[in-house]
Amino acid sequence: GGLTDAAMGFMLDNKIQIITGSLDGSSGFILSILMCRAMNRSMTNVLFGAFGKVQEQPAALAAAAGKSIRQVSIDEAAEILGTTRSIVFVPGYGMAVSQAQHRVRELADALKGKGAAIRYGIHAVAGRMPGHMNVLLAEANVPYDELYDMDQINSYFPETDVVVVVGANDVVNPAAKRVRASPIFGMPILEVERARIVIVCKRSLAPGFAGIDNELYYNDNTLMLFGDAKDTMVKLATALKQ
């Protein structure tokens, strides 16, 4: 869009349009480079790679192995969280879509009141641009010292009691580490599967941007909590108070 605007500026001999278009185009290019680095991908791979085309779907492999998802209710999830001392929230695009960041913080505050230590694990490409989750959580007044980037938080997962995944998908998919046929193979991820329990808050089992199923959902320590992210956070906070 920016480069098109700049080209139009040259055609119309409009210097302001040339400048603004160039700034827009260059900023978009810089963001693209940052996203590529965070995904461990080259620009060529992102532009021409076959995202969404995979030979072996993790979910299909899990089904073949006789695995299925384990669904949990609001009350059951609240009971688990209410007796937990170490919790990491992992936000994703689903949180942004439902505008659930304020409700996430309110749930975290309720858990702090019960003595839980709270952290947030942030992946650089979660959302639609670098820093998207940081901006949303800052808007919700989440303390900055509770935000951890991927390299920092991954070392905490083995000692974490519960991870609450709020609308994140590809950035927590273990297939990125072990399924060579996967289009996200090689992308650094948040290793949430190493925690004792993982509660995934998600509308459905629909795939993320990469177009593949998430094998995390079929792990023995994963509990699926279906529903809108904002509504789910509100219900969990309410259940904790009862």
Tell me whether residue 5 is one of the annotated catalytic residues.
no
Q: How far apart are CA 188 and CA 174, in angstroms?
A: 10
Tokens of residue 199, six digits: 């509660």
Report whether 130 contacts 35 (CB < 8 A).
Answer: yes
Q: How far apart are CA 35 and CA 232, in angstroms?
A: 29
Q: How far apart are CA 94 and CA 169, in angstroms?
A: 9
Tokens of residue 92, six digits: 């994703």
Report whether 196 contacts 164 (CB < 8 A).
Answer: no
Q: How far apart are CA 23 and CA 2, in angstroms?
A: 7
226 to each of 200, 202, 205, how far by Cα in Å?
8, 5, 9
Would you say how long the chain is, in residues? 242
Report whether 20 contacts 5 (CB < 8 A).
Answer: yes
Q: How far apart are the first and last CA of the chain?
A: 51
| Catalytic-role residue among 151, 161, 170, 220 | 170
Buried b (16+ CB within 10 A) or exposed e, 171-206: bbbbbbeebeebbbeebbbbbbbbbebbbbbbeeee
Q: Which residues are catalytic?
A: 170
